[in-house]
Structure 1
Amino acid sequence: MSVVVALVTGGNRGIGQAFVEELREQGAKVYAGSRDPAAVQTPGAIPVELDITDPAQVAAAAAHCTDVNLLVNNAGIFLNRRLVQTDDPDTGRAEMEVNYFGTLNMTRAFAPVLGANGGGQIINVLSVAGIVPTAFMGGYSPAKAATLFLSGITRAELEPQGTKVTALIVGSVETRMSDHVDGRKEDPRDIARTGLKAAAKGEWTFDTDWMAVDARARLARDPVRYERSLGRLVHKTTLRTGRD
């Protein structure tokens, strides 16, 4: 792609805002999708009212942003409830609705736009919780796992039109969504910068940071032990939520 024209969902804070800032710094034209367009603060970014679970808003965005050749599916929600022994059975459905079906909505709507603009590229911002069952992340973990598979299916379906798809496996990042996580956290701009470089190289699935790489290694060495260690954490976390 010569001139990058990007749409970033959840572009008003966290990793989404970092992508908007990084892309603008690189000279790209950037539409920043947000449920509250007034919350988009990045200079030069074009705010777009966008709730990815709202078919009308998704369709309107696709009709308005017809020059997009890079779609960054970043918007997500984490409600931090147990999946089976839950006090609110609707949270698992809500996490799947945003993290999986919302991304699917955007992918379906923008596939023709990307195709018309030479194929373009999709970046799906995923999580370590999408490669290993993460009990303390309730419905978020299976939703991200589903979206990892969506990434591969999208790649296969859109290959004839030249659309590339990169799935980013992200560890702990300094955002509101990761308030429940202790220890080392990455700068969102580092994730955005690394993710864009991975996409430019044509990576299919890419671990963006130390936690993601470490998780992949632990999973390879002893998957049962690693999954069990994550499972124990479900009894030690407090309830905090976030949506980007």
Structure 2
Amino acid sequence: MKLNARLQTAQQLTSNSPIVLIHGLFGSLDNLGVLARSLGQDHPLLQIDLRNHGLSPRSEEMNYSAMAQDVVETLDEYGIKKAIIIGHSMGGKVAMALTAVAPERIDKLVLIDIAPVDYQVRRHDEIFEAINAVSRANVKTRQQAAVIMREHLNEEGVIQFLLKSFSDGEWKFNVPVLWEQYENIVGWKNIPAWNEPALFIRGGASPYVDESHREQLLSQFPQARAHVVAGAGHWVHAEKPDAVLRAIHRFIGESAAN
């Protein structure tokens, strides 16, 4: 499946590898904009909408092998043979799955606040309730939707993030399929070891990557490097963008020097 994507050339003349940015659940290609603005200065940049998100095609199938293949077909569409892949949360799992589907297409790998594990926990049921409440109310504006969502959600940042995908009374993600396929989204099937450096950036206050994941993570990514950003949660790149960007630039720079 070819995905909706936005390609921008580097602001400066460069031969650096292209960078692909992959958003998380309920997101879109605009979500990692704070990273795009910095990384796009020195690298060609491809931002994508994953299937069932944004303006990309819809499908009843929602698993990481299929989503990784979508990335491959989209790289083909844009003539990108090899790229630095950066993914947050669900997008990070897509990036990790790409190492099993098409390892030759990966230059470097950066995973933001996600581990290659089956979480076996439902963190988003309240979000689904809020989203469905908005749909049932048949409201048209983000302001009206926000009022309804505040009855279900306490975190204003989460509400505003979700509302970025609400337009003219419609959600830009496929709510029924995301609900039906939720176990696949939070789940994971172990993949063969990828014996190249991979940078795992996590928020120090986030539950998504912790010591209990270490063994499983290292069995699949033996050369994993960890960078913990203190005082940040799951949205570490939005909460502490400078710290995340420093870690990414350092990792990419070290890799380029080798």
TM above 0.5, yes or no, is no
TM-score tier by shorter-chain length is 0.3 to 0.5
Higher helix share: 1
TM-score calculated relative to the size of structure 2: 0.41
TM-score in terms of structure 1 length: 0.43
